[in-house]
Amino acid sequence: MGAADVVPGVSGGTIAFIMGIYDPLLESIRRINPSLISKWNKEGIYVVWTHINGTFLCSLLAGILTAILTLAKVVSYALTEHPIVIWSFFFGLVIASTILMIKQVRNWSIIEILLVVTGAVFAYVITVANPITLEFTLLAVFFSGLIAICAMILPGISGSFILLLLGMYVPVLDAVTSFNLPVLGLFTVGCLIGILSFSHMLSWLLNKFRSLTIAFLTGLLIGASCKIWPWKETIGFRVNTSGEQIPLPLIEKVLFPAAFETATGQSAQLDIAVPMMVLGFGLVLGLEKISIKPSD
């Protein structure tokens, strides 16, 4: 989940869904509320820890933080130096994830179909939206964490991509790589408040209207897939503090491989891209085989 959350366009929520820990994750987060204080006083810390599935949450958080802290530089380098290879892998992963989510919809009706379409349109509009340049302030860092974390636990919408839309992806990534504690601390506080609030609503929807909710989430995954299509032409740039032109990942044109070669003069690398797609697709199916089933 941590590795996926570093990449703009891939959601950690998708990985959680594949591995079968999505529902336990939401339920554990939902149980973190002020009533825990009373439970602690009456029944002790062990009961509280068991109630929120603390071992599960800490293990998951440790894995996410480890991946973010260790892979941030690696992912940034790979996306810059080998974009087609990396995006091909994630595209295969997301396509397989979409198929698995479609299988989770119990009853297909006109409502489910409309929700898939609505989710797809909503996610697509987000992926082609123009970026907003927020002034880098501590308040902006806090609200970025508050908003981005909600996307991070949604299959299909990437929290990193939301940070890109807000113009906060580079500052936050720089804070991670330089270990800027004040910025990271405030961003974390925003994430905690956002996830504790949003998880209640999402958990309730999955419990009461599971098929409808999964249909909408499937639409999000489909609509966002264009963002991770491997062959894109960057048509927008920003100027960094050194006066250099840096490509804007948000402003891109999706192309077929042949058109990509014509427009950019670069190889489509189909001999590598196709196997990487197959690898990503197969990895998801493999993870699904060993995932935690509802009956487990």
pTM, two decimal places: 0.72
Q: What mean pLDDT comes out for the span 157-163?
A: 73
H-helix or E-strand spanning residue 232: strand 232-234
User: In the predicted model, is pLDDT for residue 74 greater than 70?
Assistant: yes
45's CB contacts (< 8 A; 6+ apart) are none
Domain assignments of the chain as residue spans, ordered by start: 2-290
User: In the predicted model, is pLDDT for residue 188 greater than 80?
Assistant: yes
Q: Measured at the alpha carbon of residue 152, what is the angle toward residues 151 and 155, in degrees to the nearest 5?
A: 80
Between the CA of residue 245 and those of 187, 241, 248, what are the distances in Å? Answer: 27, 10, 9
User: If you average pLDDT over each of 173-182, 206-215, 252-261, which comes out highest?
Assistant: 206-215
User: In the predicted model, is pLDDT for residue 295 greater than 50?
Assistant: no
Q: What mean pLDDT comes out for the span 72-100?
A: 82
pLDDT in the model for residue 242: 54
pLDDT in the model for residue 68: 78
pLDDT in tens, 253-263: 778 888 888 88
Whether 226 contacts 127, CB under 8 Å: yes
Give the β-pairing of 245-247 and 252-254.
unpaired
Whether 127 contacts 227, CB under 8 Å: yes
Task: Provide the Cα torsion 166, 169, 170, 174; round to 10°.
Answer: 130
pLDDT in tens, 96-130: 888 888 888 878 889 999 999 998 998 888 777 66
pLDDT in the model for residue 296: 44
